[in-house]
Amino acid sequence: MGNARLLVVEDDPDISNMLKIYFSSLGFDVDVALRGNDALEKTRQVLPHLIILDIMLPDIDGYEVCRNLRTSMRTSHIPVIFLTQKDERSDKLQGLELGADDYITKPFDIEELKLRVQGAIRRSERESLTDPRSGLPAGRLIEEQLRRIIREKDWALMDCRISQFSAFNDVYGFVAGDDVLRFSAMLLGEIVDEFGSPNDFIGHTGGDNFIVISSDEAILQIKKSLKDRFDEEVQAHYNFMDRDQGFIQSANAEGEMVRSSFMKMMIGTISPKEHLFSDIREITELAAESRRLDTPTGV
C-alpha cells in the first residue's frame, strides 16, 4: 500500500493539511487540491490511485468533479471516496449513482477513513483494474477496451515497450525501475493530452509494456512525440557518469561485464485500416509483432 498516490480535494486547509500529514506518515504520496478544477487538472497530470473528494467546493462541486472523472476514458477507473458534511440519504445516493466508491460524512474517524482508503485501493488492484506502480488501467479494463474497439472502425492501437529496462533494473534497482514506470505513465498522459482526446485510452499491460488507443489520425503524432521525448527525458534517471559515457555496464550470467544502451521506447501501431480483426488476441499479437520490428539502435 506504500507509495500509492492519493489526491485530497478539500477547500478547508485544516482538514486537507491534516489528511496530507496523516496519510504521508503511512507511506502514501499525497497531493492536495483546493478547488474542483484544480483536482481535474492534477488528475490529468498524475493519475492518483484514489481520490478523497469533498462535495462543497468553491468552484464546481464534488458531484461535477466525479461526473467528469467517470465520463473520461483516462480517469473513469480511479476510486473516489466522498468526504462531506452532507448526510442526507438523497445526497449519498447521488454520489453513489455518479460512481463514487464510498461516502463518509464529517466529522469522521480518521482510522475508519484509512481503512476505507486501503480497502478501495486493494479492491481495485485485486480486480485487476489498475497497476499498483503506474496507477494506469490494467488487466480487465484493458480487455474491456479491446472488446470495445474490435466492433468499431476509427481507431489505432499503439503497443509500447521500454527496451533495456531489465538492464537498468539490474544496475539501479527495482525502486529506480518503478520510478521509470511512473515517469513513462506521466509522459504518456501528457502526450495523449496534447495530441489525442479525452476518449483516448492508456493502459499498463504489465512490466515495461503499455498501450494507447487513439484515433488513426492522432496516433502518428503521439508515437513521434513519445519516442523523441522518452529518449531525451529518460536520461535523467541515469547518474552523471553513465550519461557521460553513454551506456551502463552490468554482469551477465557468466560474470562478464557487458554494456547496455540507454532505455528507449519501442513502439508498434496497428489499425483496422490495415487489418481485419476477429478476436482481441489478433489485436495484441499483431501490435506486439509491429513493436518488435521497431528495433532499437545503440551499443
Which pLDDT tens digit goes with each residue over 277-296? 888 999 999 999 999 998 76
The CATH label, of 3.40.50.620, 3.20.20.70, 3.30.420.40, 3.30.70.270, for the domain at 139-292 is 3.30.70.270
Q: What is the pTM of this model?
A: 0.77
**139-292 matches 5-126 in CATH topology:** no
Task: Report the topology of domain 5-126.
Answer: Rossmann fold (3.40.50)
43 burial level (CB within 10 Å; 0-12, 13-18, 19+): buried
User: What is the arithmetic mean of pLDDT over 172-186?
Assistant: 94
H or E element in which residue 40 lies: helix 36-45
Domain boundaries, the chain: 5-126, 139-292
User: What is the arithmetic mean of pLDDT over 197-226?
Assistant: 94
| Three cell numbers written together for 220 | 502518428
Residue 297: predicted pLDDT: 52
**Mean pLDDT of all residues in the chain?**
90
Edge-to-edge, what's the strand order for the sheet holding 5-9? 29-33, 5-9, 50-53, 80-84, 102-105
Strands 102-105 and 80-84: parallel
Q: Is the pLDDT of residue 1 over 50?
A: no
The per-residue pLDDT for range 19-47, each reduced to its tens digit, is 999 999 999 999 999 999 999 999 988 88
User: What is the arithmetic mean of pLDDT over 216-225?
Assistant: 94
